């Protein structure tokens, strides 16, 4: 049907010879239209230095969580899935004795071992001061992405990046990071001269840049929190106010999402938001299917299908 | 035929410049509850072992000795008085200024201090989560509201104050042995949770606070170590700083 239309168009252009000579191109286009790619995003947030599982006699979550167990789940997925992206949305530090004693070193070393691809910064990551955060980030094999903090003249200057681009198979994935405003949230001396840029404007600027770099998929790691009763900036607001973000991996509010939330952004496309509780109790997984197409007119209000994975 | 080749070139160019777009068609989600009783990766256990071993040693470090167990109780208790007095004393040292009142909410204390050797872990059980010591300047009017809130909830650990409870109101209030003055500004040391308005302390929320990142747990550890260094055992008693009037 498409081919017939193509021939008709070229006939109108006035050359039957041209049509037949272009036949192979048409064939090529058809094959590109059908290219489907898969990749899997695994994510954590607000793990709060809880390297050990909750005690077996704990009132809540007894025996759950723990980094040795999280590693086993991640390893299992890696054995069956080729393209895995492992991400964290911040608050890696604070709230276990490990952090009080070691200030974050074992957390970072384990994340290196688990091959995290990227993380953003939460307010609790500053809890042993900005000097300590710089010291610990230097031990990480993965980038800390934060787009809206300005660290000039602080120990974190040039220790973080505003975005990264990671290729998984044929898919180019751009990742940015948006942090919460630290003023009145943590002691001022913890973040020193750190300046804050407008989160929505910055997210849109960086995402547009990633789009221009031909990223097929754009992720925002966010520590804003999923949503609030008042007009406090949240993932929900960012999801509605952005233009190019496909997925927001959130944190801060410690929410156990029953399923990812779907919003329509300012371009009329879908921005998905997900969050995986806290304390290392959960690991979120999103398997994306992407079709690369030469069709110029992508459907507005693209209805991405979100469904739960059935038993393997 | 030059004309045809120009058309052909244009066409090929237009065709190739038609950029590849990515259409997200489907996302399948799954959430794993991490269950350490189901599976574990021993490689991580090995990686963490030096940290875990050393942490266990650290938590078993003896920092003091108590002549009897200290428990929390309302309206006043040995444990509550010990903690509030200790926080007031260490806060004066840390902030290098005189502090009139120290108070933490009853719920912030999660355990007790056992009789005998006190180890680091006992204080971690007392305060399992990191909360901060905060200073606030509070006027007499708001202080009265704050004290009313405390007695309304049964009486919290407090230092630097003596008061009676009458009809769920704080009365006969003495601060530094002087009656509460509505026009005086007092310095209050408390935990960041109530300073941010937690546990009904709305009157504290509006006050500016100084938080330099001192952990409440560390403050208490400091106080116990200080007492031990002076050769003092850890002991405390109730001294009728909060009394019920019938």
pLDDT digits (tens, 9 = 90+) for B147-197: 999 999 999 999 999 999 999 899 999 999 999 999 999 999 999 999 999
Assess A136–B contact: CB distance below 8 Å, yes or no.
no
pLDDT digits (tens, 9 = 90+) for A149-207: 999 999 999 999 999 999 999 999 999 999 999 998 999 999 999 999 999 999 999 99
Name the packing angle between helices A105-113 and A67-80 (round to 10°). Answer: 20
Is pLDDT of A32 > 80? no
Cβ–Cβ below 8 Å for B15 and A285: no
Coil, strand or helix at B15: helix
Cβ–Cβ below 8 Å for B48 and A284: no
Would B28 be classed as within a structural domain? no
Assess B17–A contact: CB distance below 8 Å, yes or no.
no
Is pLDDT of B15 > 60? no
Return the sign of the alpha-carbon dihedral for residues B146, B151, B152, B153.
positive
pLDDT digits (tens, 9 = 90+) for A252-299: 999 999 999 999 999 999 999 999 999 999 999 999 999 887 765 555
Coil, strand or helix at B196: coil
CA angle (A152 as vertex; A148, A158 as ends), nearest 5? 80
Coil, strand or helix at B56: helix
Other C-beta atoms closer than 10 Å to the C-beta of B142 total 21
Assess B5–A contact: CB distance below 8 Å, yes or no.
no
The answer to pTM > 0.80 is: yes
Residue of B16, B22, B45 to mutate, testing the A interface (most A Cβ within 10 Å of its Cβ): B22
In A, residues 13-42, which contact B (CB 8 Å cutoff)? 13, 15, 17-18, 21-22, 25, 29, 32, 36
Cβ–Cβ below 8 Å for B55 and A101: yes
Which helix (H) or strand (E) segment holds residue B12: the answer is: helix B2-17
**Chain B residues touching A290 at Cβ < 8 A:** 22-25
Assess A170–B contact: CB distance below 8 Å, yes or no.
no
- Which residues are paired to B204 by β-bridges? none
Return the sign of the alpha-carbon dihedral for residues A211, A217, A220, A226.
positive
Residue of A38, A47, A73 to mutate, testing the B interface (most B Cβ within 10 Å of its Cβ): A73
Split into its structural domains, chain B has a count of 1
Lookup: tokens for A164: 């990264």
The band of B25, judged by pLDDT with boundaries at 50, 70 and 90, is confident
Would B13 be classed as within a structural domain? no
Set out the domains of chain A in order of their start, with CATH numbers: 1-33 (no CATH), 36-292 (3.60.21.10)
Would B241 be classed as within a structural domain? no
Minimum mean pLDDT range among A22-31, A164-173, A220-229, B173-182:
A22-31
The CA R_g of chain B, rounded to the nearest whole Å, is 29
pLDDT digits (tens, 9 = 90+) for A36-72: 999 999 999 999 999 999 999 989 999 999 999 999 9
pLDDT (mean) for B6-15: 50
Contacts of B57 (CB under 8 A, 6+ apart): none
- What is the spatial distance between Cα A234 and Cα A226, in angstroms, rounded to a whole number? 5
| Nearest-CA distance A197 → chain B (Å) | 24
* CA A213 to chain CA centroid, nearest Å: 17
pLDDT (mean) for B3-32: 67
Assess B15–A contact: CB distance below 8 Å, yes or no.
yes
Would B219 be classed as within a structural domain? yes
Contact A222, A89 (CB under 8 A): yes
**Chain B residues touching A15 at Cβ < 8 A:** 4, 7
Contact B242, B157 (CB under 8 A): no
Cβ–Cβ below 8 Å for A100 and B215: yes
Contacts of A175 (CB under 8 A, 6+ apart): A87, A118, A145, A163, A164, A165, A166, A218, A219, A220, A221
Q: What is the pLDDT of residue B19?
A: 63
Question: What is the span of the domain harbouring residue B216?
Answer: 69-234
Q: In what order do the strands lie in the sheet with B169-175?
A: B178-179, B169-175, B161-166, B242-244
Residue B131 sits in a domain whose CATH number is 3.90.780.10
How far are the Cα atoms of A20, A21, A293, B9, B12 from residue A28, in angstroms, in the given order? 14, 13, 12, 17, 12
In B, residues 49-108, which contact A (CB 8 Å cutoff)? 51-52, 54-55, 58-59
pLDDT (mean) for A67-88: 98
Is pLDDT of A303 > 70? no
Per the listing, tokens 């069709």 go with A295
Would B41 be classed as within a structural domain? no
Contact A88, A41 (CB under 8 A): no
B80 secondary structure, DSSP code: H
- What is the spatial distance between Cα A144 and Cα B157, in angstroms, rounded to a whole number? 42
**Chain A residues touching B24 at Cβ < 8 A:** 217, 246, 270, 288-290, 302, 304
Would B94 be classed as within a structural domain? yes
In A, residues 215-234, which contact B (CB 8 Å cutoff)? 216-217
- What is the spatial distance between Cα A33 and Cα A47, in angstroms, rounded to a whole number? 41
Lookup: tokens for B205: 């929320």
Could you write out the three-class secondary structure of chain A? CHHHHHHHHHHHHCCHHHHHHCHHHHHHHHHHHCEEEEEEEEEECCCCCCCCCCCCCCCCCCCECCHHHHHHHHHHHHHHCCCEEEEECCCCCCCCHHHHHHCCHHHHHHHHHCCCCEECCCHHHHCCCHHHHHHHHCCCCCCEECCCEECCCCCCCCCCECEEEEEECCEEEEEEEECCCCCCCCCHHHHCCCEECCHHHHHHHHHHHHHHCCCCEEEEEECCCCCCCCCCCCHHHHHHHCCCCCEEECCCCCCECCCCEEEECCCCCEEEEECECCCCCEEEEEEEEEEEECCCCCCCCCCCEEEECCCC
In B, residues 27-56, which contact A (CB 8 Å cutoff)? 27-45, 47-48, 51-52, 54-55
Nearest CB among A171, A187, A302 relative to B213 is that of: A187
Taking Cα atoms as reference points, which of A252, A285, A295, A248 lies closest to residue A270? Answer: A248
Contact A91, A133 (CB under 8 A): no
**Chain B residues touching A102 at Cβ < 8 A:** 51, 55
Would B53 be classed as within a structural domain? no
pLDDT digits (tens, 9 = 90+) for A230-248: 999 999 999 999 999 999 9
Q: What is the pLDDT of residue B22?
A: 80
Would B162 be classed as within a structural domain? yes
ipTM value of the model? 0.86
Assess A84–B contact: CB distance below 8 Å, yes or no.
no
């Amino acid at each position: 049907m498409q081919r017939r239309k193509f021939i008709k168009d070229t006939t109108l252009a006035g050359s039957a010879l041209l049509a037949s000579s272009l036949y192979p191109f048409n064939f090529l286009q058809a094959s590109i239209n059908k290219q489907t790619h898969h990749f899997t995003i695994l994510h954590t947030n607000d793990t709060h230095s809880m390297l050990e599982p909750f005690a077996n006699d704990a009132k809540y979550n007894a025996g759950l969580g723990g980094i040795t167990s999280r590693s086993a789940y991640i390893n299992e997925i890696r054995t069956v899935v080729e393209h895995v992206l492992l991400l964290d949305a911040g608050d890696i530090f604070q709230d276990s004795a490990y952090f009080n004693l070691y200030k974050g070193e074992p957390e970072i070393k384990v994340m290196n071992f688990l091959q995290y691809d990227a993380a953003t910064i939460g307010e609790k990551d500053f809890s042993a001061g900005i000097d300590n955060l710089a010291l610990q980030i230097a031990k990480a094999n993965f980038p800390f992405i934060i787009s809206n903090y300005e660290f000039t003249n602080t120990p974190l200057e040039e220790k973080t990046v505003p975005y990264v681009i990671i290729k998984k198979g044929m898919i180019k994935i751009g990742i940015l990071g948006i942090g919460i405003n630290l003023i009145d949230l943590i002691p001022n001396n913890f973040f020193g001269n750190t300046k804050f840029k407008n989160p929505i404007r910055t997210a849109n600027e960086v995402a547009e840049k990633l789009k221009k770099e031909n990223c097929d998929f754009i992720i925002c790691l966010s520590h804003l929190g999923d949503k609030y009763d008042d007009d406090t900036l949240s993932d929900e607001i960012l999801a509605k106010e952005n233009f190019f973000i496909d997925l927001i991996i959130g944190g801060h509010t410690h929410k156990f999402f029953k399923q990812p939330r779907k919003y329509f952004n300012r371009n009329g496309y879908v921005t998905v938001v997900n969050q995986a509780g806290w304390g290392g109790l959960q690991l979120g997984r999103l398997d994306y299917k992407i079709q690369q197409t030469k069709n110029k007119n992508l459907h507005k209000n693209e209805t991405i299908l979100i469904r739960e994975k059935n038993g393997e | 035929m030059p004309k045809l080749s120009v058309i052909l070139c244009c066409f090929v160019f237009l065709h190739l410049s038609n950029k590849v777009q990515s259409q997200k068609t489907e996302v399948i989600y799954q959430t794993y509850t991490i269950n350490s009783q189901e599976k574990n990766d021993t490689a991580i256990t090995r990686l963490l072992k030096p940290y875990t071993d050393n942490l266990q040693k650290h938590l078993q470090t003896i920092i003091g000795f108590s002549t009897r167990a200290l428990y929390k109780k309302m309206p006043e208790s040995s444990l509550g008085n010990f903690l509030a007095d200790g926080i007031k004393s260490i806060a004066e040292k840390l902030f290098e200024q005189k502090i009139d009142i120290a108070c933490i909410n009853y719920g912030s204390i999660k355990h007790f201090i056992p009789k005998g050797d006190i180890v680091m872990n006992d204080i971690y059980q007392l305060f399992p989560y990191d909360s901060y010591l905060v200073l606030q300047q509070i006027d007499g009017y708001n202080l009265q509201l704050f004290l009313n809130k405390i007695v309304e909830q049964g009486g919290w650990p407090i230092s630097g104050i003596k008061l009676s409870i009458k009809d769920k109101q704080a009365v006969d209030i003495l601060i530094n042995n002087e009656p509460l003055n509505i026009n005086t500004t007092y310095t209050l040391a408390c935990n960041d949770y109530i300073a941010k308005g937690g546990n009904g302390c709305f009157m504290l929320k509006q006050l500016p606070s100084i938080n330099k990142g001192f952990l409440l747990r560390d403050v208490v550890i400091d106080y116990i170590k200080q007492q031990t260094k002076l050769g003092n055992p850890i002991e405390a008693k109730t001294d009728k700083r909060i009394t019920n009037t019938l």
